[in-house]
Every structure is written in structure tokens, then in C-alpha cells.
């Protein structure tokens, strides 16, 4: 397990790293009227984090959760009832920062992060889905790229392409057959920003998402902790466009979500004037990205920072929506209409820190922090009918 005391501040979970930075500058996180903490005659000997880093749907009934402690667990969706994981395995090297990437490859195969120089391909082959999960391949790459922090996969010309974003600001592009058993590295791409918006010179690629397929090529967009949004062509890795999400930002990008031309970006807002959710429209012909709106999802208006941990697109009875989980333990919900955001509201769900979200196209929402919460967003389940359990098709715009 990861012991925080032996690591630098950079290796802390991002929400805690940001808090410590503000505290070092004299910013107080005490709630109004709260008493100052007492100095106890004890010595801290490290901290172990089991917070969720990533959640990803595997099929209509199962989703996977990766945690900071290096574990990967698979759960069966059971609304209104707590049930433990079907299987839990070690999926990340103890020297890394936990499982930050879980990417669906085909109905029986996923990829996950491991350490600074490898990813793991997992497959379930038995009659009972996912209980017999086994490692079937180790994908090795230059360790200077760093741990995989994010990923997406899709089919082009009868080949599966896996695009992974890495901790040191690189993408790796892999190609394999549709059985996902012969992945080879196609190329790597340096997407680092020249001038990171964060104060730690971090370049973690926190989001990778397919935005277009046409013939034998595709476009993906990446969102990095250095603040840059890059549109990259697959398979050659050409950078089509580069945009700073917010030139005045003090923190970088934590999560991105795409649907057609719509792009959501989640970050940590610092101070009263910053925002932690940004809405853009993308020109898929040129790769240009234009800001439409932004919002600050804060329960406490005076909080010195509010970390938007994850944002995703979803559906509810009235149509397409989005969900965001924030540092205050809240689940936010809203809509976007091509020009602006409309915030429906929030629900207090869990203890403060942040939660990973995963939405299945049939109307199932999983929210995972230390604990697990499940929601139904549609009264009648929608038909999936997609090549990926989480990918929403874009309606006519």
C-alpha cells in the first residue's frame, strides 16, 4: 500500500496536494466557527489511501473500480443493496500511484495502468463474466512516459486502437486485433504544455476521449494537468490543435467528457472567482475549441478551493445531462444546450474528498469514493446498442 509520508507532495492525491499548497500559504480550511485542531502528543507514521481513482463500466451489469492502494475490483450493479466486489486483484505496482486508468477494449477484455513502464491487459474467458479475470498481456513502453493516467479505445479498419495518457505528458497509441491479444506500440506523442498552469510543473494526461472516426483515422482529445487540451490524430499521432483551457487557471485539468461536439472539463477552482466546470464546443473539421460557459460547483461559497474530481455525460428522463462529483462530497447534475450550462442542483452523497463516476448508457450511475453508491437515472432502461458501454451517441445538433 502507498504510504504518503515517504512521498513528495507531487505524489499525493491531487485534491490533497492542492489543499497542502494553499495551507502552506496561510489559507485556512476550517469551517466558519470551527475550533482550531489540537496538537496531540503523537507522531504520524504515514497515511494509506484507498480512495477511488477510476470507475469504468464493463458491460450492462458490471463495472470496475481502481483505487489509490493499487487494487482493481469488479462489482455487479445492485441498486438499493450493498454487495461486495465479485473479484479484487492487485493491478498496480506498489511504487506507483494506484490504478488511474481502466479502459474497455472489447466485451471480455480491459486494460489497466500498472507502473511507470507497463500496462496490463486483462480478460475474462469463463461462463461467469469477470469472476475469472486473468492477466493475458503486459504492454511495455519507455518508463520516462510515466504511469497511465487515462485511456480510450475504439475500432479502426478492423483493428482496436488503445490510446493511453501518461503521467509525464505523453500519449501512447497501440494497435491490436479485435480479440485484443496482439497489441503493438504504434507511436508516442509528446503533448506537454510549454507553460503549465499548475505550480508543480505537472503534465499528467488526466483525460483521453474519442471525438471522431472517419475512414482509417480518428481524432481524440486529451486534457492534462498542465492545462492544455490537445486534439490528436490516430494512428499517426499528429497534434491537430492545442488550447489552454483557462489561461488564468491555478490548477490543471482533472477530467474531461465528450459527446459529439460538446466538451466538459473539470478542474479545481481556487478562490472566489475561479470556476471548476468548463463547457466548450469543438469544430471537428479544424480541431478548434471554443469556450461556451463555465460554472463553479460549490456547496460552501467561502471554501478556498473546490476540486471537481470527475465529470461525465449521462441521461435522465428529460434527456441528456451531465454529472460531476466534487471535493465537498456532492454529486452535481446539469444540462448543456450548445451555448450554456444549466445547473439542476446537487445531492450530498459522501464524505468530502472526491469520487469517481461511471455512467452506463442504459441509465445506471456508479459513484465511488471510499464507499460505493449506485443510482438509476431512467425509469425504463434504455437500449445500449453501442460498441462501448459508456459512450453516448450525439443526437442531432
Domain spans of the chain, in order of start? 141-244, 249-354
What is the spatial distance between Cα 64 and Cα 151, in angstroms, rounded to a whole number? Answer: 14
**pLDDT the model gives residue 2:** 34
What is the spatial distance between Cα 353 and Cα 307, in angstroms, rounded to a whole number? Answer: 8
**pLDDT the model gives residue 34:** 55
Residue pair 103/164 in contact (Cβ under 8 Å)? The answer is: yes
Alpha-carbon 309 to chain mean position: 8
**pLDDT the model gives residue 126:** 76
Lowest mean pLDDT among 73-87, 110-124, 252-266, 314-328: 73-87
Structure-model confidence comparison of residues 177 and 49, the more confident one: 177
Tell me the percentage of the chain whose pLDDT exceeds 90. Answer: 75
Q: Tell me the pairing of strands 118-123 and 62-67.
A: unpaired
Q: Say what the pTM is.
A: 0.90
**pLDDT the model gives residue 146:** 97
**pLDDT the model gives residue 5:** 32
Which position has the grid cell 460531476? 324
* Secondary structure element (H or E) that encloses residue 115, with its range: strand 109-115
Structure-block grid coordinates of residue 251:
490548477
**pLDDT the model gives residue 22:** 76
**pLDDT the model gives residue 351:** 87
**pLDDT the model gives residue 39:** 57
User: Is residue 395 predicted with pLDDT exceeding 80?
Assistant: no
At the topology level, CATH places domain 141-244 in: Lipocalin (2.40.128)
**pLDDT the model gives residue 41:** 58
**pLDDT the model gives residue 353:** 83
User: Is residue 95 predicted with pLDDT exceeding 50?
Assistant: yes
Distances (CA, A) of 171 to 38, 260, 281: 46, 22, 23
What is the spatial distance between Cα 89 and Cα 383, in angstroms, rounded to a whole number? Answer: 31
Over range 281-304, report the average pLDDT: 96
Over range 321-329, report the average pLDDT: 97
Tell me the percentage of the chain whose pLDDT exceeds 70. Answer: 89
**pLDDT the model gives residue 254:** 97
**pLDDT the model gives residue 93:** 82
Closest CA to 108 of 149, 166, 160, 147: 160
Number of neighbouring beta carbons within 10 Å of residue 53: 27
Instruction: Kindly report, residue by residue over 249-269, the tens digit of the pLDDT.
Output: 999 999 999 999 999 999 999
**pLDDT the model gives residue 385:** 54
User: Is residue 329 predicted with pLDDT exceeding 50?
Assistant: yes
**pLDDT the model gives residue 94:** 74
Instruction: Kindly report, residue by residue over 26-76, the tens digit of the pLDDT.
Output: 776 656 555 555 555 555 455 556 889 999 999 999 999 999 999 999 999
Over range 347-367, report the average pLDDT: 94
**pLDDT the model gives residue 3:** 33
Residue 243's pLDDT band, with cuts at 50, 70 and 90, is very high
Amino acid at each position: 500500500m502507498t504510504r504518503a509520508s515517504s512521498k513528495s507532495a507531487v505524489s499525493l492525491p491531487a485534491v490533497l496536494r492542492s489543499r497542502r499548497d494553499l495551507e502552506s500559504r496561510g489559507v485556512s480550511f476550517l469551517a466558519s466557527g470551527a475550533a482550531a485542531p489540537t496538537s496531540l502528543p503523537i507522531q504520524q507514521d504515514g497515511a494509506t489511501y484507498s480512495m477511488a481513482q477510476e470507475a469504468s463500466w464493463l458491460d450492462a451489469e458490471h463495472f470496475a473500480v481502481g483505487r489509490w492502494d493499487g487494487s482493481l475490483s469488479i462489482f455487479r450493479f445492485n441498486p438499493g443493496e450493498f454487495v461486495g466486489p465479485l473479484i479484487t486483484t492487485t493491478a498496480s505496482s506498489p511504487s506507483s500511484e494506484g490504478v488511474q486508468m481502466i479502459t474497455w477494449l472489447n466485451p471480455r477484455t480491459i486494460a489497466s495502468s500498472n507502473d511507470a513502464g507497463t500496462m496490463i491487459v486483462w480478460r475474462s474467458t469463463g461462463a461467469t463474466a469477470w469472476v475469472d479475470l486473468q492477466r493475458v498481456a503486459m504492454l511495455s513502453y519507455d518508463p520516462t512516459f510515466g504511469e497511465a493516467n487515462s485511456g480510450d479505445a475504439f475500432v479502426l479498419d478492423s483493428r482496436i486502437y488503445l490510446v493511453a495518457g501518461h503521467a509525464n505528458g505523453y500519449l501512447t497509441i497501440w494497435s491490436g486485433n479485435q480479440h485484443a491479444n496482439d497489441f503493438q506500440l504504434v507511436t508516442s506523442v509528446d503533448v506537454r504544455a510549454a507553460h503549465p498552469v499548475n505550480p508543480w510543473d505537472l503534465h499528467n494526461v488526466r483525460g483521453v476521449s474519442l471525438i471522431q472516426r472517419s475512414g482509417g483515422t480518428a481524432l481524440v482529445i486529451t486534457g492534462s494537468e498542465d492545462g492544455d487540451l490537445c486534439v490528436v490524430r490516430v494512428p499517426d499521432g499528429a497534434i491537430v490543435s492545442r488550447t489552454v483551457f483557462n489561461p488564468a487557471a491555478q490548477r490543471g485539468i482533472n477530467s474531461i467528457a465528450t459527446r459529439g461536439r460538446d466538451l466538459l472539463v473539470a478542474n479545481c477552482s481556487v478562490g472566489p472567482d475561479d470556476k471548476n466546470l468548463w463547457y466548450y464546443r469543438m469544430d471537428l473539421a479544424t480541431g478548434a475549441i471554443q469556450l461556451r460557459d463555465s460554472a463553479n460547483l460549490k456547496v460552501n461559497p467561502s471554501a478556498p478551493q473546490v476540486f471537481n474530481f470527475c465529470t461525465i455525460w449521462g441521461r435522465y428522463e428529460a434527456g441528456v445531462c451531465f454529472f460531476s462529483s466534487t471535493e465537498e462530497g456532492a454529486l452535481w447534475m446539469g444540462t448543456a444546450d450548445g451555448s450554456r450550462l444549466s445547473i439542476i442542483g446537487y445531492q450530498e452523497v459522501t464524505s468530502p474528498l472526491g469520487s469517481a463516476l461511471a455512467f452506463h448508457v442504459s441509465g445506471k450511475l456508479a459513484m465511488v469514493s471510499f464507499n460505493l453508491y449506485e443510482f438509476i437515472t431512467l425509469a425504463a432502461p434504455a437500449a445500449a446498442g453501442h460498441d462501448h458501454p459508456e459512450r453516448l451517441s450525439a443526437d442531432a445538433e
